Structure 1
């Protein structure tokens, strides 16, 4: 009975090893695990001995996988491979029944698990919530919720953001606003893209009640890989203001947007910043700033603690706005 148990255990271990993906490096090392995806020059290999490891694609000689994977040699189309088989250094074999195909590793742009509807869809995002209760000479209750998500397929990238902030001081509402933004990017090359976006802000307390912005312009993606991303966009915008006294205003402006995040300390800490600085074309003195910077500490693969500072400034307009908010809270990501 004991021998039979040992035999079953040995067969299980052998089967597990056989199912593991393998990556051979140019220096002769061999790593086993599960290939998650390849993008931005980094192959993410999930291991039970070192967690998720980001491997430099240029250091890989060949690889093997029993998974069905989508192999993309350009930004638009991809080919499903039922498995990957090792080949001579610098190449890999796409196994599809009786018609295996050998391709250069250098020609591969992405490796993904194919999705049911949109095969090459990459979707990521996070929701952060912060609650702050202060009981002193002046009682303060502060609520802050933010959503940020991004989805990319082929040459298209969808970006969406939403924020809500509400604050009470001695049961009197002192801050009550929300905003939503959607931007669509169309990549022209691997780095350059064209963006169109719409943003709406609503404030129930300040004199500046509503802001609507429609803009378009070119952008540049400096990098986007497993360790982070950084992009900027220069936009020409049309902005409409509505004030609490019934007056309104509109103007055209040039703006610079940025979106940055970087993982540190073995991907357990994330530094992030996003925002926009704008300059009306008709008035040399006015400008706007809407920016955020913060840190996110990952507790698990999906849960995190976050600390963030936000600045919202409208200078030169009727009912000037100047708000700075600090928040500490909990978030979920995917």
Structure 2
């Protein structure tokens, strides 16, 4: 007759407990018979992300899932933007939502989204951000120069701020260039321009939005002491894909320009304008992103005159915060001060930084 080894009992209990713990977790069975066990992170559209015990984060298609059963309650979004905290389990091809207020059974397509608590907090922060939340800052300070027979120095400081939530977008920018050259003992400035401003847009529907903006500009070699533009209008989200967005905008603006074309007397021009253009953001690769903006301002006070603004930039992430930036900023004025060119181009490249909160 065999006897129970009491010394081995703790080890047996430990192994049994570990087996039970391992068996716990959210369970997903695919239509091809594969099984994934872990913790469901989210369902976004037709994509389900589960943190697997053996394979890390795994992405699955919702339509490829045969059955699903959760071990811990998730934030379940149902049709009509109703969110409940509940476990879910597939029953006869439908999904049982075991909510505290009473269970219900819905079709698989009735599950709009799933989020664990961390994803839900991030979602709520995105929908109702604080004043300092969701800001992304990109910028750089670039220096270039020579020393010898000729001395030159070029300083550029592009900065961009963006705050994007589910209902609004706030942006601000600052760009300047200052350069000088000394040749044969004679020093002279060769460029001195500053551009800056801000913009705000708010969604009315999933496609339509209202926007407003305020721009400032100084350009010594265009004899422009200050240009102030205040405008607003409406826009249309023409395209939104996995790698980018395209918005079309249009509206009206008021433009005040003060010129000082010495030795001639300074003068000021005020004009109403109609504007139209586009904003494009596109992810070229996992590390490189492209942004482009175009605006045409047609003068309504003096017909036939116009301005054009074109900006494009690319950012490549070298590390988490260090980037390589390239930007081009072009301004065209159909009626410049006599003796000045109609077009001014500002381009910069160099190392920069990015910061997100």
Give the alignment's TM-score, normalised by structure 1: 0.72
Q: Is the 8 A contact 2:172 2:198 kept in 1?
A: yes
What whole-Å deviation, never above 9, does each CA across 1:204-257 have from its counterpart, x for those lacking one? 624222222232323111334553222111122222222235422122222223
Distance 1:305 1:110 in 2: 37
Structure-2 residue corresponding to 1:223 = 239
Structure-2 residue corresponding to 1:330 = 352
Matches within 5 A, 1:64-143: 69=75, 71=77, 79-82=82-85, 85-87=88-90, 96-100=99-103, 105=109, 108=112, 113-114=120-121, 120-121=127-128, 123=134, 125-136=136-147, 137-143=150-156
Tell me: CA distance 1:145–1:223, structure 2 relative to 1, closer, same or farther (3 Å).
same
Structure-2 residue corresponding to 1:202 = 217
Distance 2:164 2:346 in 1: 30
Tell me: CA distance 1:81–1:331, structure 2 relative to 1, closer, same or farther (3 Å).
farther
What root-mean-square deviation, in Å, do the aligned CA atoms of Structure 1 and Structure 2 show? 4.3
Distance 1:184 1:149 in 2: 12
Distance 2:93 2:208 in 1: 28
Give the alignment's TM-score, normalised by structure 2: 0.68
Distance 2:320 2:71 in 1: 24
What whole-Å deviation, never above 9, does each CA across 1:304-326 have from its counterpart, x for those lacking one? 33222221222224364522313
Distance 1:149 1:24 in 2: 41
Q: Is the 8 A contact 1:126 1:148 kept in 2?
A: yes
Instruction: Quote the offset at 1:280 in angstroms.
Output: 1.7
Q: Is the 8 A contact 1:224 1:230 kept in 2?
A: yes
Distance 2:321 2:55 in 1: 18
Moved more, 116-125 or 280-289: 116-125
Distance 2:178 2:349 in 1: 12
Distance 1:207 1:284 in 2: 23
What whole-Å deviation, never above 9, does each CA across 1:179-215 have from its counterpart, x for those lacking one? 111222232x32122x231212131624222222232
Tell me: CA distance 1:270–1:285, structure 2 relative to 1, closer, same or farther (3 Å).
same
Instruction: Quote the offset at 1:273 in angstroms.
Output: 1.4
Instruction: Quote the offset at 1:94 in angstroms.
Output: 5.8
Structure 2, unpaired ranges of 5+:
1-9, 182-186
Matches within 5 A, 1:166-185: 166-170=177-181, 174-185=191-202
Q: Which of 233, 243, 252 pairs up with 2:259?
A: 243
Q: Is the 8 A contact 1:84 1:92 kept in 2?
A: no
Q: Is the 8 A contact 1:91 1:105 kept in 2?
A: no
Instruction: Quote the offset at 1:272 in angstroms.
Output: 2.2
State how many pairs are aligned: 317
Q: Is the 8 A contact 1:72 1:110 kept in 2?
A: no
Tell me: CA distance 1:190–1:51, structure 2 relative to 1, closer, same or farther (3 Å).
farther
Q: Which of 191, 197, 213 pairs up with 2:207?
A: 191
Structure 1, unpaired ranges of 5+:
none
Distance 1:250 1:42 in 2: 53
Distance 2:173 2:138 in 1: 9
Distance 1:89 1:304 in 2: 52
Moved more, 208-217 or 81-90: 81-90
